[in-house]
Amino acid sequence: MCELLGMSASVPTDICFSFSGLRARGGRTGPHKDGWGMAMYRDGDVWAIHDPRPSADSDMAEVMSHASLKCDIVISHIRQANVGAVNLLNTHPFSRFLWDKTWTYAHNGQLENATDLPLVRYHPLGNTDSERAFCWIIEQLQTRFGDQEPSVSDISTRLWQLALQLKSRGVFNMMLSDGVRLYCFCTTKLHWITRRAPFKKATLSDEDVIIDFKEVTTDKDVVTVIATQPLTQDETWNQMQEGELCVFEGGEAVFQNRL
């Protein structure tokens, strides 16, 4: 299956350290060689990059491992294809427009009978079960709440209900963002860690890279990183439970719901 990486931060922060660890799993230390992508939000605006090549071999991924682009929210994905060809259209993350915001989404897992999910307004450009599920989620939100964006509690509760429906079709590990909050749902594997003062050193599990966060942060910074598998070997990560939804804003958990 694929692997996910997300970040929510209280101040614009780069993802270089964490992405370096994820990138190695895209064809070198892991089998996820069927493309990679990243969506980066800053003040609600999003910039996305997609590449159907293995991240371990991609020159663009190499650039992103070192480019200190400061972002509020990041969603990244390395793909091990199960449904759909290996091409640009099927490379996560996917994006759609709702409530004057660009929503971005990535999925790890495989869903049975995804073509049965009814769609009227939103339609996939590629042929993955992941993108169809995303279109269905966005359409269900628009149908339920209309043109008025609901409260974080209402939208989070509805997203949790929709995610549980998709979970009944198979494995549904998801990250979704509107540029303000990062929504994460777990079926099998998702872990997260919140870093805040006093900051310490950390060592990647998949690369020989060590960072001292004290040198690149201030005492007021709060940064939460979410990943399919923990990316560091000397930190304690929180493991999400099956059927759990966590919502992060400004690096802090602002909503949680579980079975």
How far apart are alpha carbons 232 and 129 in whole angstroms? 30
> Is 186 one of the annotated active-site residues of the chain?
no
Phi-psi region of 233 (alpha: psi -120 to 50; beta: other; left: phi over 0): alpha
Cβ atoms of 179 and 73 within 8 Å: the answer is yes
Interatomic CA distance for residues 41 and 223, integer angstroms: 14
Q: Give the residue from 87, 84, 80, 135 showing the smallest Cα distance to 108.
A: 80
Round to whole Å and give the CA distance between 174 and 163: 8
Peptide bond into 52 cis (omega under 30): no
> Which string of b and e fits 34-65 if b means at least 16 CB within 10 Å?
bbbbbbbbeeeebebbbbbbbbbebeebeebb
Out of 2, 71, 135, 184, the active site residue is 2
* Residue keyed to tokens 């560091």: 232
Q: Which residues are catalytic?
A: 2
